[in-house]
Structures are given as C-alpha cells and as structure tokens.
Structure 1
C-alpha cells in the first residue's frame, strides 16, 4: 500500500507523544541580526563605547529571542509546511517501505509493537528536528 505523508505525520505525532517529546525551535538568525543592529546604532550614537554598549544590549536581547519556548513535537509537526513534511516523510519512507498495513491505525500498531522500528523512527525525527529546524529536544511531561 502506498504510504502518504499525512499517515507518516500521524505516526510521528503518536510516537513523539508516547515519548513525551518537546522541542524549542531557535531563531538564531534573528538574534544575531538584532545584536548587530544594536551594536551599529550604538556605534553611530556613542562611538567605540557605544558599539560595546549596543553590542552587549543587543546580545542580551538576541539571547532572549533565541531561547525558544518548548512545545509538544506533535504540534510542531502539524504546523510544518507541506515541503518540510515531505522532507521528513522522505527520510522515514526507507524504514516504513517494507511494512504491510492497510490504514494508519494498523501502521501505528506495527511500529509501536516493534522497539527497533520505534528507535529508528525516533532517530529520524530527532535528526530532522535538530538539523533542519535547529531545535533543542526535551523528553518527559
């Protein structure tokens, strides 16, 4: 049976919910831009000491911006644009291709009954979240 993207997303949601996974997506580019902009403005207004003060202030604001709030991974997965869901699907399909199932409930039962499959799919999910989204992952409720 062909595996569709929505089924794989539902599977990842169930798996991450079972493991109590949460992730904080960092916005490091925005933080760096803010730090640079405040250093520049500080330099225009106060010369070299202004650069130091502006950079310090901007660095603090940038750091606050990059510390994301932890959200449940299923919520993050469901908010992904279709192109990003497709990337995650493409990584998971190699593991799921050989399974024989009829619907997403049966697929989920097959995966949840096999520790090896769970570990492989969890590794795919963690790899995607940390590399593609630059997220920090946390476990537990």
Structure 2
C-alpha cells in the first residue's frame, strides 16, 4: 500500500527539524551587498575610519533587512510547496532510495526514522529539491 504524499512530506519535515536545517530566500546575498556598499561608501568619504563605520552601519542595515527571512526547511516543505511540487519531491525521494531496494514506499517511513543512510539520502534529496525548485539557500 503506497504512503500518502503528505505523510512522507511530514516525515521528511521531522527529519529536517531534527537536523535543524534552515533556508533563506536569497537574502544573504542582498545583505552582503548592502554591507559592502556601505563599507565602500564610508571608505570613500572618511578613509579607513569610514570603512569601519560604513561596515558597521551596513551590517546593521543588512541585519534589519534579512531579519526573519530564515525559516526551517520543515516549514517550507509543509507550507510552501504546491501539491504538484510535493508529488515531484516524493518521486525524487523514491528515486533516491531505490539503491536501498525498498520496493514499496510504505516501507520507507519506518526505515526513514531508524536508518541513518536513508535519512541522509532523503534529506539530501529534499535539500536539493528545495534549492532547485524554490531557489532557496540552505543553511546547515
């Protein structure tokens, strides 16, 4: 009997929570650019002291801009994926665990919770999927 897609997504979410995997929607690059631009501007205007002042001000601005943009992978999997994306993720997971010779997806859930190799394969697949589909950056 095949496992419900939602059940597998929830199992992957539990695994992601246990590993404390976080994602960001490309906010890190934006923050770095703000910080660099502030340091550059401060350096041009005030020299070496301006670099320090501009870097500090830019760091604070980047913090304010990106605050709250880091979310748990589990939250993204459960709330942000469309039904079609969830189906594709389940298919990717199914393909990733074929080397473990699991014939029925229903056997995957108990193994997922107890087998470190399968956990690694499934989590790696989920991270890759979210990175490629949603263009998120993963923070381990």
Q: Give the shorter-chain TM-score range.
A: 0.5 to 0.7
Q: Which structure 1 segments of 5+ residues have no match?
A: 32-63
Aligned residues: 104
1:112, distance to aligned residue in structure 2 (A): 2.4
1:111, distance to aligned residue in structure 2 (A): 1.2
Report the Cα distance in structure 2 between the residues aligned to 1:88 and 1:71, rounded to whole angstroms.
19
Give the aligned partner of residue 9 of structure 1. 9
TM-score (norm 2): 0.60
Runs of 4+ in 1 over 3 A off after TM superposition: 99-102, 106-109
Report the Cα distance in structure 1 between the residues aligned to 2:104 and 2:114, rounded to whole angstroms.
14
More helix by share: 2
SS at structure 2 position matched to 1:98: coil
Give the aligned partner of residue 116 of structure 2. 115
Give runs of aligned pairs for residues 1-141 of structure 1, distance below 5 A. Answer: 1-26=1-26, 69-79=69-79, 80-94=81-95, 95=97, 98=102, 107-139=108-140
Report the Cα distance in structure 1 between the residues aligned to 2:133 and 2:82, rounded to whole angstroms.
13
1:25, distance to aligned residue in structure 2 (A): 2.1
Q: CA 1:19/1:99 → structure 2, altered by over 3 Å: closer, same or farther?
A: farther
Residues 38-96 of structure 1 deviation map (CA, whole Å, 9 limit, x = unaligned): xxxxxxxxxxxxxxxxxxxxxxxxxx7x9681101111111111111111111012327
1:4, distance to aligned residue in structure 2 (A): 1.9
Report the Cα distance in structure 1 between the residues aligned to 2:77 and 2:24, rounded to whole angstroms.
12
Q: Which structure 2 segments of 5+ residues have no match?
A: 31-61
Report the Cα distance in structure 2 between the residues aligned to 1:124 and 1:20, rounded to whole angstroms.
16
